[in-house]
């Protein structure tokens, strides 16, 4: 009961202006919004004027969806989300897309994981849309092969997941999206060269690849400011990323039997060379292991301008040579974050086999001061039982602190490494490390459980 006007909560809500009610209903699925029409005459048609529609028609009769859309009376749609199957309802899906486009939807999201239908292609009118600003397509059935000219003249954010598109198709999409600012390609197949040189407004690129969705092997993006490249067994050449200021690299390079010293020099360290203007850098565990092999093989590292560095890795000996050499070549580093995620890694067996094949003594490579750190299997076992020792983490921190001279702040984000007692012990040790190295040390618990390097999150 609300005092003052002596009206109950429902009457109070009903008295709100339509604009506010529309905003409230925009945050719930359309099916739930329609149910409010039963509350009273006041609510009967409120849902139909809501500028945001979220329709899940995976189990619904296509005729009922058509009927629902026929009641919609708002002149413009700000957001339209469709979650559907394609089997026996392609005409209905095309009708929904046409409805959204005809109502000038600014945000269009299409989701379908129906693998029973192969090679679905959007109708031509899908590619002619001057209103859409944000477009999200997530489907294992969609082949983005425009047969016509693409005209997405207002599009700023494009996200494609589990789609198939060729290099030729992608060039069409890019040429028809002159205002594109952000591009996500998540587990998309068949395109190999990503030439973004004509996308002058593009600032952010995110690519996730896997064993099944290899993605590009070459990226040309001279206007890009932020790059996130993760998960792949194939190398990727950064041809031109000269404007890049932020990068996130977590790449799995696959079978070390095919890896040569030339590969390390031309694909791993060369990737670092292309990041010489980057000030904020994140690197994953397997990339660090490859940097370790490069360091042990004597491959020269470039000098970087990185000021903020984040390392997502387990505490294992095979990442230490790569980290320490990387730190030596980042003379302007101010902040270092260690995120101890549990992640996929290259086994010690494969690393040692690689070293032997290149006439390197593995015992000399993993120096005595690094041998105190466990291998990957030992670390995973410790994480499972939470028996990692606080002094192991402290030694790791100390090892890194000694490898850099300009550092001001070290942040350690621990995932499952220590129990409560071990965490308190580490906090005490960190005070000494901070004082001895004149560096501010901050230790926190983190709750990201696992980072996979090879499999998509379905």
Report the range of poorest mean pLDDT among 12-16, 51-55, 437-441: 12-16
pLDDT score at 336:
97
Whole-number average pLDDT of the chain: 80
Per-domain residue ranges of the chain: 13-104, 118-244, 253-458
Per cent of the chain over pLDDT 70 is 75
Cα–Cα distance, 399 to 274 (Å, whole number): 27
Q: At 1, is the pLDDT very low, low, confident or very high (cuts 50, 70, 90)?
A: very low
Cα–Cα distance, 260 to 223 (Å, whole number): 32
Span 105-144, pLDDT tens digits: 999 999 887 667 677 889 999 999 999 999 999 987 778 8
Instruction: Find out whether 86 and 112 touch, Cβ atoms under 8 Å.
Output: yes
Q: At 263, is the pLDDT very low, low, confident or very high (cuts 50, 70, 90)?
A: low
Cα–Cα distance, 118 to 87 (Å, whole number): 10
Q: At 434, is the pLDDT very low, low, confident or very high (cuts 50, 70, 90)?
A: confident
Mean pLDDT along residues 215-235: 82
Cα–Cα distance, 336 to 417 (Å, whole number): 19
The 3-state DSSP composition of the chain as helix, strand, coil percent (nearest 5) reads 35, 20, 45
pLDDT score at 48:
66
pLDDT score at 244:
96
pLDDT score at 383:
46
Mean pLDDT along residues 402-407: 90
Instruction: Find out whether 287 and 251 touch, Cβ atoms under 8 Å.
Output: yes
Report the range of poorest mean pLDDT among 267-281, 349-363, 404-418, 427-441: 349-363
Indicate the helix (H) or strand (E) that contains 100. helix 90-102
Q: Is the pLDDT of residue 262 over 80?
A: no
Instruction: Find out whether 217 and 239 touch, Cβ atoms under 8 Å.
Output: no
Span 180-193, pLDDT tens digits: 999 999 888 767 78
Residue 164: phi, psi to the nearest 5?
Answer: -115, 125
pTM above 0.75? yes
Cα–Cα distance, 64 to 78 (Å, whole number): 22
pLDDT score at 210:
64
Span 264-316, pLDDT tens digits: 666 788 889 999 899 999 999 888 988 988 888 888 999 999 999 999 998 88
In CATH, what class is 253-458?
alpha beta
**Any idea which residue has 């005729």 for tokens?**
63
Q: Rounded to whole angstroms, what are the CA distances from 276 to 168, 244, 308, 343, 432? A: 31, 9, 13, 27, 34
Q: Is the pLDDT of residue 60 over 50?
A: yes
Mean pLDDT along residues 217-234: 85
Angle subtended at Cα 168 by Cα 249 and Cα 91, rounded to the nearest 5 degrees? 100
User: Mean pLDDT: which of 166-180, 209-223, 429-443 is highest?
Assistant: 166-180
Mean pLDDT along residues 44-70: 74
- The string of DSSP codes covering 72-95 is ---S--SEEEEE---TT-HHHHHH
pLDDT score at 317:
86
pLDDT score at 326:
95
Mean pLDDT along residues 334-342: 90
Q: At 378, is the pLDDT very low, low, confident or very high (cuts 50, 70, 90)?
A: low
Q: Is the pLDDT of residue 368 over 60?
A: no
Mean pLDDT along residues 391-416: 88
Span 204-215, pLDDT tens digits: 999 987 655 566
Is the model more confident about 374 or about 333?
333
């Amino acid at each position: 009961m609300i005092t003052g006007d002596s009206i109950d909560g429902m009457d109070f809500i009903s008295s709100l202006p339509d604009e506010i009610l529309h905003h409230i209903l925009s945050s719930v699925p359309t099916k739930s919004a329609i149910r409010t029409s039963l509350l009273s005459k006041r609510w009967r048609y409120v849902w139909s004027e809501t500028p945001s529609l979220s329709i899940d028609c995976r189990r619904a009769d296509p005729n009922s969806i058509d009927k629902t859309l026929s009641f919609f009376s708002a002149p413009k749609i700000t957001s339209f989300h469709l979650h559907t199957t394609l089997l026996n309802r392609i005409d209905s899906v095309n009708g929904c897309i046409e409805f959204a486009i005809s109502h000038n939807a600014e945000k269009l999201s299409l989701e379908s994981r129906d693998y029973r239908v192969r090679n679905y292609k959007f109708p031509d009118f899908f590619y002619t849309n001057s209103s859409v600003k944000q477009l999200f397509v997530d489907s294992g059935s969609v082949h983005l092969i425009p047969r016509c000219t693409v005209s997405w003249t207002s599009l700023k954010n494009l996200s494609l997941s589990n789609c198939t598109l060729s290099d030729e198709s992608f060039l069409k999409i890019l040429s028809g999206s002159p205002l594109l600012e952000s591009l996500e390609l998540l587990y998309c197949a068949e395109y190999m060269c990503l030439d973004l040189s004509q996308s002058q407004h593009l600032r952010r690129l995110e690519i996730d690849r896997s064993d099944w969705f290899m993605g590009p092997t070459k990226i040309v993006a001279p206007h890009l400011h932020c790059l996130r490249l993760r998960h792949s067994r194939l190398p990727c050449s950064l041809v031109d990323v000269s404007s890049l200021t932020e990068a996130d690299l977590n790449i799995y390079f696959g079978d070390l039997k095919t890896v040569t010293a030339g590969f390390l020099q031309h694909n791993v360290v060369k990737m670092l060379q292309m990041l010489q203007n980057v000030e904020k850098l994140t690197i994953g565990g397997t990339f660090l292991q490859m940097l370790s092999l490069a360091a042990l093989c004597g491959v020269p590292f470039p000098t970087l301008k990185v000021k903020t560095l984040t390392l997502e890795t387990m505490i294992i000996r095979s990442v230490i040579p790569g980290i320490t050499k990387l730190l030596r070549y980042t003379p302007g580093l101010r902040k270092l974050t260690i995120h101890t995620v549990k992640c996929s890694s290259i086994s010690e067996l494969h690393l040692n086999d690689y070293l032997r094949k290149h006439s390197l003594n593995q015992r000399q490579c993993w120096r005595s001061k690094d041998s105190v750190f466990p291998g990957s299997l030992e670390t995973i076992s410790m994480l499972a039982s939470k028996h990692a020792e606080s002094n192991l983490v402290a030694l790791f921190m100390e090892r890194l602190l000694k490898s850099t001279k300009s550092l001001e702040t070290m942040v350690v984000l621990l995932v499952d490494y220590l129990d409560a007692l071990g965490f308190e012990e580490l906090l005490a040790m960190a005070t000494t490390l901070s004082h001895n190295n004149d560096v501010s040390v901050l230790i926190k618990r983190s709750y990201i459980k696992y980072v996979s390097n090879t499999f998509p999150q379905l």
